[in-house]
């Protein structure tokens, strides 16, 4: 089964951020700007060092402290099934010094303050940190295929994913938003779309949005209003894919969403040939035939 090499990047933004030399590929940095601090891990595919001329698509996952391990498992399973190409995974999380991750997310992943949650508004800082420091640093250090750069997240991280699409649509080529928080701050997601539509009818992005049918009803209703609005826009250059999952609630959508989002993001460059499972069965059947012939 294909596994991932893990390289820890604990990154801190300085005046001119760069990767330092380190032994045994243990690159440790911190990216920090204003109130936002990040810990970043880069996971390389098996063939990375065996194929020095190869470049790899990059999947950026938010909430890495929660999502990194399941995404690693999904990657291994999908590679075993030959459903996706080899790729680099960049996990965006927080350093250990952050005591309350749940509270920090409320501030960093949201574009505006929400009076109910009494938090929010650091998304512009996080986006600037990603676009001007994290992504350039990863592209300098690793052989990345910049024509396939995906951002994905769940809940508030999905809200940030779509916020990034509107604020800096060229930063990523693909956006996979799992159960995005469309209800945040009086449906700020719809407001972001309104603001963008006033200045442009072109939205160059591939977008996948999914949700569970059993999620909190006001949450789903707000998302439905946003999705209808987005579809009605009929943006030029927007490739939009929508999916609902029967019977799942909010947290349960993480596994289903990330797995299907990965399949979606690489569907057009899916490797040819059989899966490892098929190969195993073909070998077993051939062995059975040979044994019967003997």
**Number of domain units in the chain:** 1
- Read off the CATH number of the domain in which 106 is found: 3.40.50.1820
- Spell out the residues 6+ positions from residue 106 whose beta carbon is closer than 8 angstroms to its own: 114, 117, 119, 120, 156
Give the global pTM: 0.89
Phi, psi of 16 (to 5 degrees): -130, 85
Q: Is the pLDDT reported for residue 25 higher than 70?
A: no
- Spell out the residues 6+ positions from residue 74 whose beta carbon is closer than 8 angstroms to its own: 255, 258, 259, 262
CA-wise closest residue to 79 among 44, 41, 43, 45: 45
Residues 162-190, mean pLDDT to the nearest whole number: 97
Q: Is the pLDDT reported for residue 16 higher than 50?
A: no
CB 19 within 8 A of CB 27: yes
> What is the pLDDT at residue 13?
34
* Structure token digits, residue 198: 């006033």
Q: Is the pLDDT reported for residue 229 higher than 60?
A: yes
Cα–Cα distances in angstroms (integers) from residue 12 to residues 18, 26, 128, 192, in the given order: 9, 15, 14, 30
Q: Is the pLDDT reported for residue 34 higher than 50?
A: yes
What range does the domain containing 229 cover? 4-293
CB 243 within 8 A of CB 62: no
Rounded distance between C-alpha atoms, residue 158 and residue 152, angstroms: 7
User: 6-20, 29-43, 132-146: which range is least confident on average?
Assistant: 6-20
Q: What percent of the chain has pLDDT over 90?
A: 75
Place of tokens 């930063």: 171
């Amino acid at each position: 089964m294909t596994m991932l090499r893990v390289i820890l990047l604990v990154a801190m933004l300085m005046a001119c951020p760069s990767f330092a030399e380190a032994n045994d590929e243990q690159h440790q940095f911190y990216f920090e700007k204003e109130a936002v601090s990040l810990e970043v891990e880069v996971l390389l595919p098996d063939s990375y060092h065996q194929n020095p001329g190869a470049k790899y698509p990059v999947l950026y996952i938010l909430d890495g402290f929660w999502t990194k391990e399941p995404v690693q498992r999904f990657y291994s399973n999908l590679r075993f099934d030959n459903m996706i190409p080899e790729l680099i995974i960049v996990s965006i999380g927080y350093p250990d010094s952050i005591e309350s991750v749940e509270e920090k997310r409320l501030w960093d992943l949201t574009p505006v303050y929400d009076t109910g949650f009494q938090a929010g508004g650091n998304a512009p800082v996080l986006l600037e940190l990603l676009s001007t420091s994290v992504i350039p640093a990863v592209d300098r250090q690793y052989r990345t295929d910049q024509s396939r750069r995906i951002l994905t997240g769940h809940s508030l991280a999905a809200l940030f994913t779509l916020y990034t699409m509107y604020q800096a649509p060229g930063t990523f080529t693909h956006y996979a938003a799992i159960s995005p928080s469309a209800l945040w701050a009086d449906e700020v997601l719809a407001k972001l779309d309104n603001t963008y539509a006033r200045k442009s009818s072109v939205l160059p992005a591939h977008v996948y949005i999914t949700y569970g049918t059993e999620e909190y009803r006001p949450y789903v209703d707000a998302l439905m209003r946003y999705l209808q609005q987005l579809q009605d826009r009929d943006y030029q250059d927007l490739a939009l894919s929508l999916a609902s999952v029967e019977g799942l609630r909010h947290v349960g959508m993480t596994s289903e969403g990330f797995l299907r989002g990965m399949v979606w993001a690489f569907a057009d460059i899916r490797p040819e040939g059989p899966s490892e499972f098929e190969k195993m069965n073909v070998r077993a059947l051939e062995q059975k035939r040979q044994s019967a012939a003997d």
